[in-house]
């Protein structure tokens, strides 16, 4: 039988945003460095004469560093307190990415970006565990945490590109201080938080690994769609709609901005209609949204549709993070490592296949393939089940699943 005392840490606290603003801010800083890497890679080609193969290797270094360690780090975070792990992870992410622009050789740049990726990986599992504790039972609260990461990834290229364009690659060092500062803030926060509070992140109830595996499959499918959109939407505007590069960049910006809004909307929907239903609605709505964008041949009228695609495609994002932790109530750090790190990065493995399609049929061909992929997400999400319900968290504003 589930104990309502799990949420006792949140009974006397303000609303979801006040409980989650530290974790949302930390997530934004951490994922800023995920956005920094793809923004910086072209400058290594232009200013250091790195080949396209070497450039791809740098992107791979950051991806592997951030994806592969997530599960073992999650297991460690679930077994031990390790209050230093999330602060150290943010610091490593910022220092590795920041020093990469100053490194004199390709192997050193590769190693620094690999270190940055590992730092990003060190943050997600313990932060997801502790953010779950702070969120209580509220999916809305968890959506703030998830949206923080989306904001950081969105802001990264917007700040990094003009800095490197005007000041050169060495300007990556300017982005080290935010990581060190946030790491210090997180460490101080942990010093004021008792070990007993961290244990509240664990819910009573049996783990449901079968449902968690299904959820992970849904995440991988959605990651493929998200990564593909980020890769090809600007090219679609430029090559198929004959728009300027600036308009193509605006389409990407709107799509990413819509993702932030969709993440927040998904949390509120989940607190009202249930997590599984929210995931299923978000997956189903992707089909008409994507095809509607592809059917519009006007580069200006299609811009609001790019925003709509970003919004709808991210409705399930935060919900899947919380649902994954509810399916593995005894291992919230591991669940966060998979849903926030491994599964989200796995979509990048399918990009070479989409690249082949784009090579033969253009960016529109690649997006047309992506517009059919939601069918698989719809079918998989039909097998998800709502966790056992319990009393609503007083400060969370909605029901919480326990697994």
Whole-structure pTM value: 0.75
Beta bridge partners of 401: 389
Query: pLDDT: is 190 or 285 the higher one?
Result: 285
Q: Which of 341, 335, 293, 295 is nearest to 313 (CA)?
A: 293
What are 140-194's pLDDT values in tens digits? 888 888 888 888 888 888 888 888 888 989 999 999 999 999 999 988 887 665 4
Average pLDDT over residues 42-66: 78
Return the percentage of the chain with pLDDT > 90, whole number: 37
Average pLDDT over residues 48-76: 77
Cα–Cα dist 16/186, whole Å: 18
Q: How confident is the model at residue 371 (pLDDT cuts 50, 70, 90)?
A: very high
Cα–Cα dist 350/114, whole Å: 21
Give the right CATH number for 209-381 from 3.10.20.600, 3.40.50.1980, 1.10.3470.10, 1.20.1250.20: 1.20.1250.20
Q: Is the pLDDT of residue 42 over 50?
A: yes
108 Cβ contact partners less than 8 Å away, ≥ 6 residues apart? none
pLDDT at site 136: 77
Scored b (16 or more CB within 10 A) or e, 171-208 reads bbbebbebbeebbebbbebbeebeeeebebbbbebeeb
Q: Is the pLDDT of residue 278 over 90?
A: yes
Cα–Cα dist 296/29, whole Å: 36
Q: Is the pLDDT of residue 7 over 50?
A: no
Cα–Cα dist 22/14, whole Å: 13
Q: How confident is the model at residue 14 (pLDDT cuts 50, 70, 90)?
A: low
298 CB neighbour count, 10 Å cutoff: 10
Average pLDDT over residues 207-221: 92
Q: Which CA distances in Å does 130 have to 64, 209, 336, 352? A: 24, 21, 10, 36
Burial class of residue 374 in the structure, from the number of CB atoms within 10 Å of its CB (0-12 exposed, 13-18 middle, 19+ buried): buried
Picking from 20-24, 179-183, 280-284, which range would have the lowest pLDDT averaged per residue? 20-24
Every domain range in the chain assigned CATH 1.20.1250.20: 4-199, 209-381
Q: How confident is the model at residue 9 (pLDDT cuts 50, 70, 90)?
A: very low
pLDDT at site 213: 93
52 CB neighbour count, 10 Å cutoff: 9
What are 118-129's pLDDT values in tens digits? 898 889 888 888
Q: How confident is the model at residue 70 (pLDDT cuts 50, 70, 90)?
A: confident
pLDDT at site 197: 46
Which single residue is written with the structure tokens 């969709």?
A: 262
Q: Is the pLDDT of residue 34 over 90?
A: no
* Mean pLDDT score of the chain: 82
pLDDT at site 307: 95
Q: If you classify domain 4-199 with CATH, what class do you get?
A: mainly alpha
């Amino acid at each position: 039988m589930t104990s309502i005392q799990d949420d006792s840490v949140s009974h006397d606290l303000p609303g979801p945003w006040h409980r989650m603003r530290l974790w949302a801010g930390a997530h934004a800083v951490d994922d800023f460095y995920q956005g920094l890497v793809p923004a910086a890679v072209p400058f290594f080609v232009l200013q250091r004469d790195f080949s396209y193969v070497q450039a791809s290797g740098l992107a791979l270094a950051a991806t592997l560093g951030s994806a592969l360690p997530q599960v073992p780090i999650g297991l460690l975070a679930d077994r031990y307190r390790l209050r230093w792990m999330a602060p150290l992870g943010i610091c490593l992410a910022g220092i590795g990415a920041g020093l990469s622009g100053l490194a004199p050789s390709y192997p050193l740049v590769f190693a620094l970006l690999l270190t940055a990726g590992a730092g990003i990986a060190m943050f997600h599992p313990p932060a997801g565990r502790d953010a779950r504790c702070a969120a209580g039972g509220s999916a809305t609260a968890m959506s703030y945490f998830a949206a923080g990461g989306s904001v950081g990834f969105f802001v990264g290229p917007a700040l990094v590109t003009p800095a490197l364009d005007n000041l050169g690659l060495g300007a990556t060092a300017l982005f080290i201080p935010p990581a060190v500062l946030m790491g210090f803030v997180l460490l101080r926060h942990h010093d004021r938080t008792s070990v007993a509070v961290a244990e509240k992140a664990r819910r009573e109830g049996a783990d449901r690994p079968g449902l968690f595996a299904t959820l992970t499959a849904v995440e991988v499918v959605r990651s493929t769609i998200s990564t593909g959109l980020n890769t090809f939407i600007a090219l679609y505007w430029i090559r198929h709609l004959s728009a300027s590069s600036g308009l193509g960049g605006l389409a990407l910006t709107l799509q990413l901005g819509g993702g932030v809004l969709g993440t927040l909307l998904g949390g509120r929907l989940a607190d009202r209609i249930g997590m599984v239903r929210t995931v299923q609605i978000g997956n189903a709505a992707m089909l008409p949204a994507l095809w509607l964008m592809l059917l519009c041949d006007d580069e200006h009228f299609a811009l609001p549709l790019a925003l709509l695609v970003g919004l709808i495609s991210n409705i399930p994002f935060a919900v899947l993070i919380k649902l994954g932790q509810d399916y593995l109530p005894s291992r919230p750090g591991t669940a966060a490592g998979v849903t926030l790190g491994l599964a989200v990065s796995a979509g990048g493995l399918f990009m070479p296949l989409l690249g082949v399609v784009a090579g033969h049929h253009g960016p529109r061909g690649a997006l047309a393939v992506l517009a059919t992929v939601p069918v698989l997400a719809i079918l998989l999400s039909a097998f998800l089940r709502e966790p056992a319900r319990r009393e609503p968290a007083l400060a969370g504003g909605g029901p919480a699943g326990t697994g």
